[in-house]
A and B are shown apart, each in its own frame.
Chain A
């Protein structure tokens, strides 16, 4: 691992802050390890969901994801992988793309942005009340999202971000990340497309005291 920095995530059981490594240069090989770590938890969760007869619409919507299959994409110059490691386990990963995506929103239309292609926290961190899972850590998704905003600024894209949200994550992007929903995208499984404009990003940077 390289390019690490120390960040903090929150242990759900007691609300305490725990040091974690933010890995900015996730390699394709790292994604193989991520999948190896997470597949057992995915399988256990699926088993529990089936056992308890939980309706399919209440299943975690990234349950079927496979980071091993996404690994070759990280060989592209346009792709960037970021992840959070804590207690020697990958707690969340994200893949962003710096091309060929451009903004659709207002004054930013046609300007480059960072597109969050995939972002997921480790299955062990998912709270799933239907099967009694409380999740181990929280705060990882927000942390990774914020890193994407920073990446956008470092690239000269002024914090602009775009992404297609899974339905279960729509509220998070709209309320916690203050992104603007721009309608369902027929070209992307009809997922709701969100953008963070330059202006919205500037407000976030100001609120965080990073100007």
Chain B
């Protein structure tokens, strides 16, 4: 495993609640959830910079919407 560094993260109660819920739901530590989020964010950013688009689709309603990432 790569060398790791520690940082302090300030979250609101709501943000911490979501982190804890995801941690429980995905059976991952909070650190692992944030690491996954960062990996996904980078992946999406790289692909969107290439000009690719990301969509969310609800097949039952026949709806498709483009996702924008900041």
Q: Which residues of A contact B (CB under 8 A)?
A: 3, 24-25, 76-78, 98-100, 110-112, 154-158
A154 CA to B2 CA, complexed, in Å: 12
Indicate with 1 or 0, residue by residue over B24-38, a CB within 8 angstroms of chain A CB atoms: 001111001000101
- Please give, as numbers and ranges, the residues of chain A lying within 8 Å of B32 by CB-CB distance: 155-156
B42 touches A98 (CB 8 A): no
Report if A156-B29 is in contact (Cβ < 8 Å); known contacts: A25-B2, A76-B46: yes
> Which 10 A-B pairs have CB atoms at the shortest separation, nearest pair first?
A78-B39, A99-B39, A77-B39, A156-B32, A156-B28, A99-B40, A77-B42, A78-B43, A100-B40, A99-B36
Within the complex, what minimum Cβ distance (angstroms) separates A56 from chain B?
33
Complex partner residue of B43 from A100, A111, A155, CB under 8 angstroms: A100
Q: Does B11 contact A (CB under 8 A)?
A: no
A-B contact count, CB below 8 Å?
A: 38
- Please give, as numbers and ranges, the residues of chain B lying within 8 Å of A111 by CB-CB distance: 26-27
B27 touches A77 (CB 8 A): no
Interface of A is mostly: loop
Which parts of B3-57 form the interface with A (CB within 8 Å)? 26-29, 32, 36, 38-40, 42-43, 46
Q: Does B1 contact A (CB under 8 A)?
A: yes
Q: Which of the listed residues B2, B32, B36, B42 has the most CB atoms from chain A within 10 Å of its own CB? A: B36
Within the complex, what minimum Cβ distance (angstroms) separates A64 from chain B?
23
A3 CA to B29 CA, complexed, in Å: 24
Within the complex, what minimum Cβ distance (angstroms) separates B17 from chain A?
20
